[in-house]
């Protein structure tokens, strides 16, 4: 039985992380909901944009994945100077990557969206959104890195407060710029992009100030007397396979999005609505997985393997129970949710049907989210990558095309393919954890 203090510590971390994640999801979800009152076509175009942006932003997780593991393990082992050194190296690397990504997305928006097969009637919404939000990608690079450092130090409250402020700004900005209020022109998707970008700039500035004030108050110059080769090597050693799993998953989703685009605008729009609603269903799973990874990282740094196992076991069981409950509730409320989003009966029917299929998907998805975070925190970085690479493509993509396109079951058929993919991986991850195959892989010796 897990000790009460572990439950208390996990719950202490989950609360602020949950609020921050909720507000972060709202930051993207608000754009979709408010644009749904403007145009279904705008929603479809922005949905494609955000899938591409999500994939590209995963480049930042190459560094952040390593940052999370090393910072947690070094703090657990009491090595604060190593913690500071890793954090500063991570910020510098992601700033360089962020600037490169910003330039690529701004200059290549047309080519990228054309490659994705976005139709001309949607390009008028997709192009400006991609150029504006993508062109400010570097702000996201810095913000996510700072948030990772703060969470690793068991300080999840400041990022939560920053995202709260940013959400208020984004909602106000969307209202003014999408619909043309207070003398501003009606800008639609372009207005949503401007509002989102301004909000992210504010978030970046606030988070950097908090990091300097709370953690990096004094940075000894001797820490950087030599080029940080060791930290850079470990960041990439953890980050490459960790980000590889996420990149594989998002490439899989991008491929399936291409297939859905072949089905038509109704299916593409329905998929955008579904994705933006069900992310609230598995939001708790993301939060308890992040809390679990922080706790497990600290315990691994201390060499307490059995305690780390108990924390992980408690976390995935709690996450699965909560996620399953919310997925059933979402399916029951499907008709009401669909009515709030669209007047198109075809889109509404697709949304409601996929919500019920999604109930079968969410438990597996919850376990996968937990496992990739928690195994990485122990130093077991290769197994999630290899498992994801094989199952996501051999099951998710292959059966998605077979059920959705070849056999003609459309969007609903593809969702059944997602069910197979997520649950097969979930079962294998649980077996891995219970077998202690992750033990003795710590980076702190």
pLDDT tens per residue across all 445 residues of the chain: 444 466 777 877 888 888 777 777 676 677 777 887 788 888 888 888 887 887 788 788 778 878 888 887 787 777 777 888 888 888 988 999 999 999 999 999 889 888 877 888 888 888 999 999 999 999 999 998 999 899 888 788 888 889 888 888 988 998 899 888 888 888 888 898 999 899 999 999 999 999 988 887 776 666 666 777 777 787 887 777 777 777 788 788 888 888 888 888 888 888 888 988 888 898 889 889 988 888 888 888 778 888 889 998 999 899 999 999 999 999 999 999 998 888 899 999 999 999 999 999 998 999 999 998 898 888 888 888 899 889 999 998 999 999 989 998 989 999 999 999 999 999 999 999 999 988 877 666 5
Q: What pLDDT sits at residue 360?
A: 92
Three-class SS of the chain: CCCHHHHHHHHHHHHHHHHHHHHHHHHHHHHHHHHHCCCHHHHHHHHHHHHHHHHHHCHHHHHHHHHHHHHHHHHHCCCHHHHHHHHHHHHHHHHHHHHHHHHHHHHCHHHHHHHCCCCHHHHHHHHHHHHHHHHCHHHHHHHHHHHHHHHHCCCCHHHHHHHHHHHHHHHHHHHHHHHCCCCCCCCHHHHHHHHHHHHHHHHHHHHHHHHHHHCCCCCCHHHHCCCCHHHHHHHHHHHHHHHHHHHHHHHHHHHHHHHHHHHCHHHHHHHHHHHHHHHHHCHHHHHHHHHHHHHHHHHHHHCCHHHHHHHHHHHHHHHHHHHHHHHHHHHHCHHHHHHHHCCCHHHHHHHHHHHHHHHHHHHHHHHHHHHHHHHHHHCCCHHHHHHHHHHHHHHHHHHHHHHHHHCCCHHHHHHHHHHHHHHHHHHHHHHHHHCCCCCCCCCCC
Q: What is the pLDDT of residue 152?
A: 84
pLDDT at 4: 42
User: Given this model, what pLDDT does residue 2 score?
Assistant: 43
Question: Mind listing the pLDDT tens digit for each residue in 48-62?
Answer: 888 788 778 878 877
What is d(CA 27, CA 133) in angstroms, rounded to the nearest whole number? 13
This prediction has a pTM of 0.69
């Amino acid at each position: 039985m897990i000790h009460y203090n572990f439950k208390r510590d996990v719950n202490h971390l989950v609360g602020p992380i949950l609020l921050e994640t909720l507000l972060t999801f709202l930051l993207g979800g608000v754009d979709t909901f408010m644009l749904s009152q403007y145009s279904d076509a705008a929603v479809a175009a922005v949905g494609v944009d955000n899938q591409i942006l999500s994939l590209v932003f995963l480049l930042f997780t190459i560094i952040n994945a390593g940052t999370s593991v090393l910072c947690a393990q070094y703090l657990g082992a009491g090595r604060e100077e190593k913690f500071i050194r890793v954090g500063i190296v991570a910020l510098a690397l992601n700033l360089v990557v962020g600037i490169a990504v910003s330039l690529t997305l701004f200059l290549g928006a047309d080519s990228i969206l054309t490659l994705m097969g976005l139709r001309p009637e949607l390009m008028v919404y997709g192009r400006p959104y991609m150029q504006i939000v993508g062109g400010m990608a570097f702000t996201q690079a810095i913000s996510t890195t700072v948030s990772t450092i703060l969470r690793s130090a068991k300080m999840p409250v400041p990022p939560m407060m920053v995202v709260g402020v940013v959400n208020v700004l984004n909602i106000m900005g969307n209202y003014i710029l999408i619909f043309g209020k207070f003398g501003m022109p009606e800008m639609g998707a372009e207005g949503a992009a401007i509002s989102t970008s301004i909000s992210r700039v504010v978030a970046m500035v606030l988070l950097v100030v908090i990091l300097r004030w709370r953690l990096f108050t004094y940075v000894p110059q001797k820490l950087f007397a030599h080029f940080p080769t060791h930290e850079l090597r470990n960041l990439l050693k953890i980050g490459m396979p960790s980000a590889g799993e996420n990149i594989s998953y998002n490439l899989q989703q991008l491929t399936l999005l291409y297939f859905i685009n072949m089905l038509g605008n109704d299916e593409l729009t329905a998929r955008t609505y579904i994705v933006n609603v069900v992310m609230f269903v598995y939001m708790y799973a993301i939060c308890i997985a992040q809390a679990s990874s922080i706790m497990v990282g600290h315990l691994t740094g201390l060499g307490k393997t059995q305690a780390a196992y108990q924390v992980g076991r408690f976390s995935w069981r709690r996450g699965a129970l909560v996620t399953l409950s919310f997925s059933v509730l979402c399916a029951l409320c499907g008709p009401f949710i669909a009515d709030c989003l669209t007047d198109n009966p075809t889109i509404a029917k697709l949304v409601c049907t996929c919500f019920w299929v999604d109930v079968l998907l969410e438990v597996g998805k919850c376990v996968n989210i937990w496992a990739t975070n928690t195994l990485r925190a122990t130093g077991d970085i290769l197994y999630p990558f290899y498992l994801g690479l094989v199952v996501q493509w051999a099951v998710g993509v292959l059966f998605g095309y077979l059920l959705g396109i070849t056999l003609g079951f459309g969007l609903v058929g593809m969702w059944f393919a997602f069910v197979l993919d997520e649950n097969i991986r979930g079962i294998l991850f649980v077996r891995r954890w219970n077998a202690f195959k992750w033990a003795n892989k710590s980076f702190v010796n």
